[in-house]
Structure 1
Amino acid sequence: MRKRVKKRKGFMILELVIAVAIIGVLAAMAVPNLIGLTDEAKVARIQSDLSTIGTAVDVYYVKNGAYPSSLSSLVGNSSEGYLKKLPEPPDKSVTYELKDKGEVTGAYKGKIYSSFGTTTQAT
């Protein structure tokens, strides 16, 4: 007499629990790294925006012999404007400001970034 071997269909509950635990461990390791990357991306965007605005300020200075009185004076139509529009900061807490000698700054999370390429702690 032959014994029939009963074939399993699907997964055992233990196999599913182990698979979920492994995915949970991997997710726990990945999430903190992803959170830090968003801040780094925002800082990179701020530095890029400051570089763009700083270049427009320099062109304004070369053409007019003086720095602009405000950032809004850089925006205009294609014949007289240096920028189509001011770049929007990546975070609502960031504002771009025009300082002395054509420096443009933006503060984010306790640091002040400059179009001159410097970073300082906010006071």
Structure 2
Amino acid sequence: MVIKHHVTGYDKFLEFMEKLKVDEPIFVLYSGTKLDNGKSWCPDCVEAEPFIEEAVNTAPENSHFIHVEVGDRPFWKDLKCPFRINPKTKLSSLPTISRWGTQKKLEGEHLLDVELIKMLLHDDDD
């Protein structure tokens, strides 16, 4: 079964990743922070959520899935947002799923395709 984690904010994300020492695959979902109603401020993130959830439930045994809420809309829209400029994350859109430590990622409308997400989660060709 996939091991799920949840982190909010850039600093907490970096701290979490620094402490996470595993040999299994690590997948990171970046999305807009959720509002009081339980939905993200990012409409694309809300739309993709059920497709992502379905695919993640098929992820390889003992892989890690980290859901990172990047922050509020003004924080994300700032071109100097650390999630955008950090070479390890280098985000250009939300939502994005990446395989940590690789260039492999899916973003935006590609996250509305369960089969594409499953391909990312099960691709062992590093």
**Which structure carries more helix by proportion?**
1
TM-score band w.r.t. shorter chain = under 0.3
Give the TM-score normalised by the residue count of structure 2. Answer: 0.25
Q: Which structure carries more strand by proportion?
A: 2
The structure number with the bigger radius of gyration is 1
Structure 1 length normalisation: TM-score?
Answer: 0.26
Q: Compare relative contact order (CA 8 Å, sep 6+) and give the higher one, 1 or 2.
A: 2
